[in-house]
Amino acid sequence: MPDSPTINAEPSIERQSTGRRTEDARRDYLARLLSQMPEAIVCFDREWRITFANAEAHRVSRIKPVHLNGKSHWELFPEMVGTQLERTYRAVMQSGVPAHIEYFCKPYDVWLDTHVFPMEDGIAVYFRDITDRKGAELLRDAASNQLMQVLEATTDAVASVDRSGKFTFLNRRARELLAVKGDLIGKNLFEEFPADLEQGGYLYHFNRAMYEGIPGDFEDYYPAPLNMWLSIQVRPSTDGVVIFFRNITERRRAYHELQFQQELLNTVQQTARVATWDIDIATGKATYGPGSYPVFGHPLAELPDLNSFTKIVLPEYVPIIDRLIKTTVATGEMIVVDCPMRAADGSIIWIESRGHAVQVDGVSTRLRGLSIDITDRKHNEDALITSEARYRILADLNPQAIWMGTPDGRITYANQGLLDYLGFTPEDFEGERWLKGFHPDDRASVIEQWSHSVATGLDYDLEARMIRARDGRARWWWIRAQPVRDDHGNILHWLGVNIDIDDRKTFAEMLQQRQEETERQRAELETIYETAPVGLALFDPVEFRYLRVNTRQAETIGLPKDQIIGRRITEIAPLKGLPELFQQVAAGHPVRNHLLEGELSTRPGEHRSWNVSYSPIYDANGHVEAIAAVVLEITNQRKAEAALMQSEKLAAVGRLASSISHEINNPLEAITNLLYLIATSDTLPADVADYVATAQSELSRVCQIATQTLRFHRQAVRASDVTPAELVDAVINLYQGRLANSGITVEATYETDSTLHCFENDIRQVLNNLIANAIDAMRPSGGRLIIRAHDATDHPTDRKGVRITIADTGHGMSPAVRARIFEPFFTTKDLNGTGLGLWISTGIVNRHQGRLTLRSTEHPIHHGTIFSLFLPYEETPEA
């Protein structure tokens, strides 16, 4: 800016010096003075050498004392070369015309206000650091620039008019608004808008602002060419007025619209019985909107302020309303309150009010809103609430668990019973947290099926364990839910009911366990029943037919079970006294350890004995339902007893025979010797000699029998070696008499000389029994007894030994007899047999590692039996 003030120092002072001494003195004085000056002063000679620089120059221009009268300025400060400063210096040096520049010295980052004066021998430069001022100026420029921009951007049109009435400024919006008038800058307001002067308060406001400094606001209509309503604000300024104006044509129209709506609202308020209100927060004064209906049960005039309401609002609602008002005053937010009020006639009416605080500059000044009478609605709601509450109470009282879910599967309600059981709060049903109420093993299926139901809309139905919070027990529940649908079939919500089935379930489980136990016991009893070594049977109590029979009893009877069941006991066991026994039992008298004897129809010819017990079995009514029988066959036992008695007798006879044999042995020996002497006598007549020979032969037989009887009785302790011939001959000898009497011929052939290592007596006992049986089978008609002995191999085991076969042409055996001959006490000879012979023989043969087999036939012509006894060489028999 060229009009900035310059420094005051007068450089011409130096040039006005006179006289040498005084001149020197003045120079010193001047130099000192100059060095104190706040401006920097530098002098250059025509060679651009610095001839003078004061202290400020040293500071500002970095000129040091050594620089003086030395090198040229441009050498010292090459950065100055080519700058505007250099050009100015040189111009002054040349032309002798002073110059002034404001110069930004880049290297030192300073603004310098510089005056350059010509001198006789060069130039003098005065400069001042104006960096601060320059910065402020730039800032001011920037600020006004910004202000300009604000004015340009403002929505208001802005124009300034000077005191002569000329437009000096119009912002963009003003230019736009008044575009039809062209460029107005420099033109006269009153000339440009003459027609308007007569109208409204235009001139009045302008004059007041311009000459009296009073601002004015007004609205006015400007006809063609503007044709618009303007809202105008005139503000006095230092050199005229500033006008802010705005096109309000739209707003004016809106205002009319608003007025129309207001009237409409009035009507509505009347018909809808609405009161609109506006309350001044500071004073509490209430203003009611036009058309407000006196909804409060009192004439509106009786309610001039907020305070007057406290008299009609029911007391308990006063603090509630206070609190709400405080809220909206603080925040400006909409509040809604239903509150009961006492009407002038004493009745209670319900008023719904909604409103909010109107804030100006963040401060709430007014409360605005409306109130309506909702008494009727409230009554309905109350009815609704009470009925809903009633259902809720019913639901909560329900011992079953009741719950509700949203269509997307969230659980939104659980009755008190369910909450108590699970120890849950309603929040515990959020998300899937409720799952933790279930037994861990059931959670997966519970959620899986729930998701399935939610996805498909199908009923939810499962049994799962829910954990009872009280004792941590998991109880079984039956959980069911059904969707409740609207008219279009959309699911509104799910309704669920859980029923505690734990008792039922555990009872069922218990029953199941018990059944299993019973079944197990039954199976056990069945096994015992079947495998018991006694006969067991069950009969009906009327006809005494077999209902059940165990294996042992079936064996005793000798028929398969299915051929026994259904038949009468009297048919199978036609025993004397049996029907009477059964009748007695059927009458309720049990029979214990009764002895029965006789033949069964299935085993004719077999006299048998049984120990029986019969017990009645009662039904629930105390009637005999069945007869249970326990049958112990004691035939063999009785036979054994008989055999024992027999063998006792035999043993006694045996002992007697043995002692007799022993006793007669000596006389026999004497007789033998005597006969020998007689036989050797020469004087013996020939016929006598024949008798003696016969006597000797018969005597030898007697001796033999005697020794053999003794031997039989003696129990061998050790096995001995003996040939088959010796064994067989000894036995045949014993039966010589019987064989001859029975018309039986004996054919014995021995094809082996091998000896057997055996208990001689035992084997003889076997042979004795086989030969005796053969003789029995051939009596009385006689026949042939064929005995053979030969070396042989036992085929199944491949062992070498001797085989002795005893064959007879007797009556043979039926397959039934054949099957049982090795049983102890089995005999077909009634009292003449013991039935022990073959049983004992098998035992002996087994001890010798031998084998006893047979073939038998009842063929009319080729009847007979062959017993085959194999005895191995190698084996050592067991003692």
Name the residues that contact ligand ADP, by CB under 6 A: 769, 773-774, 777, 808, 810, 812-813, 817, 821, 826-829, 833-835, 837-839, 865
| Closest separation in Å from C-beta 829 to ligand ADP | 4
Question: Which partner from the list ligand ADP, Mg ion, none does 827 bind, CB cut-off 5 to 8 Å by kind?
Answer: ligand ADP
Question: Which partner from the list ligand ADP, Mg ion, none does 834 bind, CB cut-off 5 to 8 Å by kind?
Answer: ligand ADP
| Closest separation in Å from C-beta 776 to Mg ion | 7
Question: Which partner from the list ligand ADP, Mg ion, none does 80 bind, CB cut-off 5 to 8 Å by kind?
Answer: none
* Choice between 717 and 831, CB closer to ligand ADP: 831
Preceding amide of 98 cis, omega within 30: no
Number of residues that bind Mg ion (CB under 5 A): 3
Helix 837-847 with 760-778: angle, nearest 10 deg: 150
| Closest separation in Å from C-beta 829 to Mg ion | 8
Residues 475, 506: Cα–Cα separation, whole Å: 9
Residues 879, 871: Cα–Cα separation, whole Å: 15
Strands 744-750 and 783-794: parallel
Q: Which CA distances in Å does 210 have to 166, 167, 206? A: 12, 14, 6
* Choice between 243 and 852, CB closer to ligand ADP: 852
| Closest separation in Å from C-beta 702 to ligand ADP | 28
* Choice between 43 and 777, CB closer to ligand ADP: 777
Q: How many CA atoms lie within 13 A of 650 on its CB side?
A: 9
* Choice between 171 and 841, CB closer to Mg ion: 841
* DSSP for 680-733, written as a single string: H-TT--HHHHHHHHHHHHHHHHHHHHHHHHHHHHSPPSS-EEE-HHHHHHHHHH
Yes or no: say if 342 and 308 are a contact pair by the CB < 8 Å rule: no
**Piece in contact with Mg ion (CB under 5 A), picked from 279-287, 320-328, 770-778, 804-812:** 770-778
| Closest separation in Å from C-beta 775 to ligand ADP | 9
* DSSP for 427-444, written as a single string: GGGSTTGGGGGB-HHHHH
Interactions with Mg ion, residue window 833-862 (CB under 5 A): 837
Per CB under 5 A, 496 contacts Mg ion: no
Residues 160, 171: Cα–Cα separation, whole Å: 9
| Closest separation in Å from C-beta 647 to ligand ADP | 12
| Closest separation in Å from C-beta 825 to Mg ion | 12
Residues 364, 361: Cα–Cα separation, whole Å: 8
**Piece in contact with Mg ion (CB under 5 A), picked from 64-72, 357-365, 543-551, 764-772:** 764-772
543 token code pair: 């006809």
Tell me how far the alpha carbon of residue 727 is from its chain's centroid. Answer: 88
* Choice between 297 and 810, CB closer to ligand ADP: 810
Residue 426 burial class via C-beta count within 10 angstroms: exposed 0-12, middle 13-18, buried 19 and up:
exposed
Question: Which partner from the list ligand ADP, Mg ion, none does 469 bind, CB cut-off 5 to 8 Å by kind?
Answer: none
Question: Which partner from the list Mg ion, ligand ADP, none does 279 bind, CB cut-off 5 to 8 Å by kind?
Answer: none
* Choice between 371 and 773, CB closer to Mg ion: 773
Among 292, 709, 752, 773, binds Mg ion (CB under 5 A): 773
Question: Which partner from the list Mg ion, ligand ADP, none does 35 bind, CB cut-off 5 to 8 Å by kind?
Answer: none
Return the beta strands (E) in 374-490 as ranges.
Answer: 401-405, 411-414, 460-467, 474-485
| Closest separation in Å from C-beta 663 to Mg ion | 30
Question: Which partner from the list ligand ADP, Mg ion, none does 817 bind, CB cut-off 5 to 8 Å by kind?
Answer: ligand ADP
Residues 349, 592: Cα–Cα separation, whole Å: 99
Tell me how far the alpha carbon of residue 749 is from its chain's centroid. Answer: 92
| Closest separation in Å from C-beta 648 to ligand ADP | 17
| Paired residues of 495 in beta bridges | 404, 482
Q: Of 477, 484, 524, whose CA–CA distance to 505 is shortest?
A: 477
| Closest separation in Å from C-beta 789 to Mg ion | 21
* Choice between 777 and 786, CB closer to Mg ion: 777
- Taking CB atoms, the residue at the shortest distance from ligand ADP is 837
- Taking CB atoms, the residue at the shortest distance from Mg ion is 837
DSSP SS3 for 146: helix
Q: Which CA distances in Å does 88 have to 92, 636, 642, 671? A: 6, 164, 172, 198
Question: Which partner from the list Mg ion, ligand ADP, none does 504 bind, CB cut-off 5 to 8 Å by kind?
Answer: none
* Choice between 375 and 827, CB closer to ligand ADP: 827
| Closest separation in Å from C-beta 869 to ligand ADP | 13
* Choice between 585 and 774, CB closer to ligand ADP: 774
Residues 324, 151: Cα–Cα separation, whole Å: 43
* Choice between 780 and 860, CB closer to Mg ion: 780
Residues 318, 611: Cα–Cα separation, whole Å: 107
Residues in contact with Mg ion by the rule CB under 5 A? 769, 773, 837
